[in-house]
Amino acid sequence: MGNSNFVDYVKINCKSGRGGAGSTHFRREKFIPKGGPDGGDGGRGGHIIMKGNTQLWTLLHLRYTKHIKAGIGENGGKQTSTGADGKDYILEVPLGTTAKDAETGESICEITEDGETKILLKGGRGGLGNDHFKSSTNQTPKYAQPGEHGIEEWMILELKLLADVGLVGFPNAGKSTLLSVVSAAKPQIADYPFTTLRPNLGIVAYRDNKSFVIADIPGIIEGAHKGKGLGLRFLRHIERNSTLLFMVPADSNDIRKEYKVLLNELKEYNPELLDKTKVLAITKSDLLDKELISEIEKDLPDIPYVFISSVAQTGLAELKDLIWKELNKKI
């Protein structure tokens, strides 16, 4: 997944279509010069519809699409014929996309399944033709309803990655290195903070042709829930992961404390994240001998853990087994 191509936030102006006007036509035939009203209704304006597409994994295709307009409904015709509806605008998005009102921040809808559709903005209703307004006291109504105007609003689309496992850790905890080793993903890797500026996805092959998806989230720092570092922009991606893999390097001064800081950032952002399955990987364990590992194990958090080294490629099979076990625990 190329970093430059990953877009998870766009702001667009949406305008649904105006409804068509009703007709004021009167029936006129060879032997009926003064027939009654037969004006048809106008067609409705086009909707703005959001639709899920599994072939998309980013909002890149919408980055430069600032204005979206649906079609206008056609006017009603004679012989009570209804005008055609305006053309709907289908906005295809990757799974995990949420639409919000740009002014209020209110969540409108979320797409989680392929082919799922949600109406963002409804088109204006078509006006009624004069045929609807005839009565015993007014047999020749010369008026009809105009079509309703469409709705225009600014929308924010946000993508929350749909992955089985989310990697949680401070910058340089080895998350990108692990992803590059266990999957075919090619994240940017370097020895400085915030190498990962955008989430990366990788498919991890498991036994018997099984697989699961891992999301490498940019590193969290203390205060991230307040927007520090890369902050809130990337914490939302963790909301869609069923299992959280906490990664703390073996050379950390206090592994338990570092885990608690990470856990607190998730809690402050969204307390519901604490209900997710949690696994701990102590990275860079090639620096440790058996005696040191035994000492570290005495003070680890009370969650499933494994010692790994992405560089030496040790403990990775055990990590996959542990993740698969946790992913399928509730099934």
CATH code for the domain in which residue 301 is found: 3.40.50.300
Q: Do residue 144 and residue 234 come from a single domain?
A: no
Which domain range does residue 21 map to?
1-159
pLDDT of residue 192: 41
Q: Do residue 150 and residue 68 come from a single domain?
A: yes
How many domains does the chain fold into? 2
Q: Do residue 172 and residue 136 come from a single domain?
A: no
Q: Cα 126 vs. chain centroid, distance in angstroms?
A: 33
pLDDT of residue 219: 60
Q: What is the dihedral of CA 302, 221, 3, 108, to 10 degrees?
A: 80
Q: Do residue 18 and residue 149 come from a single domain?
A: yes
pLDDT tier at 328 (50, 70, 90 boundaries)? confident
Q: What is the DSSP letter of 26?
A: B
| Of 164, 51, 47, nearest in space to 97 by CA | 51
Last residue of a domain, one of 117, 133, 159: 159
Mean pLDDT (whole number) for 274-288:
90
Asked whether 245 and 306 are in contact (CB, 8 A), the reply is: no
The yes-or-no verdict on residue 231 having pLDDT over 50 is no
**Token duo for residue 113:** 């399944």
Q: Do residue 179 and residue 140 come from a single domain?
A: no
Q: Do residue 193 and residue 104 come from a single domain?
A: no
Q: Do residue 142 and residue 177 come from a single domain?
A: no
**Token duo for residue 152:** 């225009």
Asked whether 185 and 204 are in contact (CB, 8 A), the reply is: no
Q: What count of other Cβ atoms lies within 10 Å of the Cβ of residue 276?
A: 15
Residue 279's region, left for phi above 0, alpha for psi from -120 to 50, else beta, is beta
**Token duo for residue 50:** 């959001």
Last residue of a domain, one of 120, 141, 159: 159
Residue 69 belongs to a domain with what CATH number? Answer: 2.70.210.12
The yes-or-no verdict on residue 16 having pLDDT over 90 is yes
pLDDT in tens, 121-166: 999 999 999 999 998 888 889 999 999 999 999 999 988 877 788 8
Q: Do residue 177 and residue 114 come from a single domain?
A: no
Mean pLDDT (whole number) for 221-243:
60
CA distances from 141 to 24, 126, 129, 321 (A): 8, 18, 10, 77
Q: Do residue 82 and residue 123 come from a single domain?
A: yes
Mean pLDDT (whole number) for 309-325:
91
| Of 239, 165, 192, nearest in space to 8 by CA | 239
What DSSP letter does each residue of 74-101 carry, written as one string? Answer: PPP-STTPPPPPPPPEEEEE-TTEEEEE
Q: Do residue 36 and residue 143 come from a single domain?
A: yes
- Please state the pTM of the whole predicted model: 0.68
Q: Do residue 225 and residue 265 come from a single domain?
A: yes
Q: Do residue 104 and residue 213 come from a single domain?
A: no
pLDDT in tens, 179-210: 888 875 554 443 444 444 456 777 888 888 88
